[in-house]
Amino acid sequence: MDSYNYFLMKICTISSILLLSLKIHSQTVTIPDKAFLSRLIHLGFDKNKDNQIQQSEAERIDSLNLETHSENVIYSSYPNFQEDGLIKELTGIEAFTNLRYLNINNQFEFYSSLTNQPHEFIGNNKLITEIDLSKNLLLEVFLCNGNQLKTLNLQANTHLKELHCSSNELTAIDFGSLPELQKLICSENKLTTLNISHVPALNYLDCTNNQLTSLIYTLNTQLKDVRLGFNQLSQLDLSQNKNLYWLNCESNALTVLKFGSKLLSLDCSRNQIENLDFTGNYSLFFLKCNNNRIKRLIITAPVRELNFSYNFVSKYYCSSPDLIKLNCVSNNLSELSLSENKALVRLECTMNNLVKLDLSDNHHLDYLVCNKNKLISLVLTSQENSKLKLISCDYNQLKSLDITSLTNLENLYCSSNKLKSLDVTHNQALVILHCSKNELPELDCSKNTYLQKLDCSSNQLTQLDVSKNPLIDELACVANQLTVLNVNLNVKLQTLRCTHNELTSIDLSENCFLRNMSINNNQLKTLEISNNNQLEYLSCEHNNLEEINTTQNRALKILSIYNNKLSTLDISKNSDLEQLSCQLNKLTFLDISKNQDLESLFCWGNNLTTLDLSQNMNLHTVSTEKNPKLLKICVNQTQLKETKRLTNELYWYKDEKTQWSLECFR
């Protein structure tokens, strides 16, 4: 062959190769999903403007964000959504061989009101059920949260560094060997077992809210942050994971838990753990182990927040000077030493067996809850505890409580003790004071001008002056010995409870915002409520009332006025009334035809001769007994058909002689 022919043949060969290469690169990628293709075009990957994606165009893409969320629709970054819907499948993704980042997250949740699409449209268009990534060999980051994937095969993706696949329906993930994977988030799936032993570089794992009973992690020595909450694991030994700093394994079935000495944060709450060993751990700053079966807890680490509530701890010691928050509610503690926890700000130790609590060394404390103990001594000193803003020591055995030096105190709850005196005259910042169920003969609130809520019920008070408390909106002074109560200056009052006293009258003319009032079990002969047009609840039973006018109380929903001396009752203006209790009066007539929202009626023990229920279709409880002259009760046809059910299931009671009747009295 001469040189000329050889040269000519070589030119032809090269040309053929170039033509073949050009043909290959000009091939159109098959993308059957219209929404997928539309997104690619909209993202600017259709360089030659032929409304298709060529192989060459796909190969140039190394980052692809197909995430679906509300903004895609609202801000028109997904202009063909109305026509194409959401991406349902990703055939064609195999052509993107240089992809390093792929995001197919679905965060589109029922935005039908924004898109004018029915819920069914959105519900049927938001799920990707499978994906093949076997040709995307360079992929480093893959996000597919919020779809409906059932399996995921990643054996070919050996360069993968991050995988986010939460909120799918995964029952298995096939990792193969992923030597570079560092971050795995697979929460909210249906995984029962997870083997991560072939991903040795993994340092972050979140598989919260699955159904895991098995986790294989023996070779994962690089783990730093592990989140396993809300699974079904029964034991967990991470003692060989020396780099572990953060562990959350709450709400499993753990009886055994082991961890390394570098742990900084641990949440193992809501398990069945009996023992936690912190020997050698000098780094822990956060511990939450509430709702377990722990009996003994010794901590020498510099913990800042500690919660071991709802356990069985009887022996506790924490030497941390940095402890800020301590919650040890519902344990078996008979003593609690806090002298080394000088930074303590918040303490909750309710439901223990504490007899004494000394807080004199806790100078930063501003929140104290120690209810339901056996306290006879609560040591609070002037300078040391001056930052306290809230004290709750209800249900103890305190006979004295000195708070005179606590000038910043805003909330005091000391009910159900044995206090015979309480000086709050120095607590001028007080906003809430609950001191009910004590033995107080007097209470001076004249200096508490910021007071908004006062409950001094069940004491021995014979007088109560609230004239210097103009901001009060809730006042309870139940079960005392008050003969007079002046609330004329408490114009913000919304709730008043003064039952079981000796009041013969009360002036409510200035209390226009009153919504709830209980004044039963007094000696009232009259009750004027015409200015209280926001009143919704009125309980004034067990008095000596001969009349009451509720015509101005249009908002009234509950009226309890039984055991008085009423001979008439006009509730025709109370159309919102839902419950009426007017039993044990002297009523001869009761018209409830205008009260169509009425649900319960108690009118037994009166002198009624007629009663018409035919307009009250919402009634579920009726008690009409002991009206000796009431021979028939008017009902409508529907009610009559259901009289058996009304009597047996809905509690409609009448005397045997009284009959249901369609003959109404109108």
Number of separate domains in the chain: 1
Cα dihedral across residues 170, 172, 174, 175: positive or negative? positive
Q: Which domain holds residue 642?
A: 581-666
Q: Is residue 635 part of a domain?
A: yes
Task: Give residue 119's pLDDT.
Answer: 38
b vs e for 542-575, b when ≥16 Cβ sit within 10 Å of the residue's Cβ?
Answer: bbebeebebeebeebbbbbbbbbebeebebebbe
Task: Give residue 78's pLDDT.
Answer: 55
Task: Give residue 517's pLDDT.
Answer: 98
Q: Is residue 647 part of a domain?
A: yes
Task: Give residue 548's pLDDT.
Answer: 97
Strand partners, 320: none
Q: Is residue 329 part of a domain?
A: no
Euclidean distance between CA atoms 579 and 558, whole angstroms: 5
Q: Is residue 591 part of a domain?
A: yes
Q: Is residue 630 part of a domain?
A: yes
Q: What is the mean pLDDT of residues 455-471?
A: 98
Express each pLDDT in 572-593 by its tens digit.
Answer: 999 999 999 999 999 999 999 9
8 Å CB contact between 576 and 597: yes
Q: Give the pLDDT band of residue 114 (cuts 50, 70, 90).
A: very low
Q: What angle do CA 68, 70, 73 make, to 5 degrees?
A: 90
Q: Which helix (H) or strand (E) holds 163?
A: strand 162-164
Q: Which helix (H) or strand (E) holds 256?
A: strand 256-259
8 Å CB contact between 542 and 563: yes
Task: Give residue 26's pLDDT.
Answer: 58
Poorest-confidence range of 5-14, 301-310, 372-381, 459-468? Answer: 5-14
For 482, phi then psi, to 5°, come to -75, 135
Q: Label the pairing between strands 390-392 and 367-369.
A: parallel
Q: How many CB atoms lie within 10 A of CB 619?
A: 21
548 Cβ contact partners less than 8 Å away, ≥ 6 residues apart: 527, 529, 540, 561, 566, 569
Strands (E) in 441-492, as ranges, are 453-455, 474-476
Quote the tokens at residue 530.
């015409």
8 Å CB contact between 260 and 276: no
Euclidean distance between CA atoms 415 and 420, whole angstroms: 12
Inter-CA distances, 200 with 9, 164, 222, 271, 342, Å = 54, 18, 7, 28, 43
Q: Is residue 617 part of a domain?
A: yes
pLDDT of 171 over the 70 cut: yes
Euclidean distance between CA atoms 530 and 226, whole angstroms: 64
Higher local confidence (pLDDT), 513 or 116? 513
Inter-CA distances, 489 with 109, 465, 470, 485, 513, Å = 52, 11, 6, 11, 13
Quote the tokens at residue 321.
């000077």
Identify which of 64-73, 276-285, 409-418, 652-661 has the greatest average pLDDT.
409-418
Task: Give residue 4's pLDDT.
Answer: 54
Question: Following DSSP, what letter does each residue of 61-99 receive, concatenated?
Answer: --EEE--B-HHHHHTSSSTTHHHH-S----TTGGG-TT-
Percent of the chain's residues with pLDDT above 90: 83
Closest CA to 353 of 313, 303, 410, 408: 313
Global pTM value: 0.87
Q: What is the mean pLDDT of residues 623-647?
A: 89
Q: Is residue 558 part of a domain?
A: no
Percent of the chain's residues with pLDDT above 70: 90
Express each pLDDT in 541-569 by its tens digit.
Answer: 999 999 999 999 999 999 999 999 999 99
Task: Give residue 126's pLDDT.
Answer: 55
Q: Is residue 644 part of a domain?
A: yes
8 Å CB contact between 46 and 70: no
Task: Give residue 79's pLDDT.
Answer: 55
pLDDT of 261 over the 70 cut: yes
Inter-CA distances, 624 with 245, 566, 600, Å = 69, 16, 11
Express each pLDDT in 335-375 by its tens digit.
Answer: 999 999 999 999 999 999 999 999 999 999 999 999 999 99
Express each pLDDT in 475-497 by its tens digit.
Answer: 999 999 999 999 999 999 999 99
8 Å CB contact between 128 and 102: no
Quote the tokens at residue 643.
């009289």
Poorest-confidence range of 80-84, 322-326, 475-479, 574-578? Answer: 80-84
Task: Give residue 9's pLDDT.
Answer: 60
The CB-based long-range contact list for 446-453 (8 Å cut-off, 24+ gap) reads 448/424
Closest CA to 375 of 328, 336, 432, 339: 336
**Amino acid residing at 452:** Q
Euclidean distance between CA atoms 109 and 89, whole angstroms: 18
Q: What angle do CA 660, 567, 619 make, to 5 degrees?
A: 35
Q: Give the pLDDT band of residue 651 (cuts 50, 70, 90).
A: confident
Strand partners, 377: 356
8 Å CB contact between 414 and 398: yes
pLDDT of 648 over the 80 cut: no
Express each pLDDT in 224-245 by its tens digit.
Answer: 999 999 999 999 999 999 999 9
Euclidean distance between CA atoms 539 and 500, whole angstroms: 12
The length of the chain, given as a count of residues: 666
The three state secondary structure string of 282-302 is CCCCEEECCCCCCCEEEECCC
Poorest-confidence range of 495-499, 633-637, 644-648? Answer: 644-648
The CB-based long-range contact list for 591-599 (8 Å cut-off, 24+ gap) reads 592/616, 593/666, 595/571
Task: Give residue 16's pLDDT.
Answer: 47
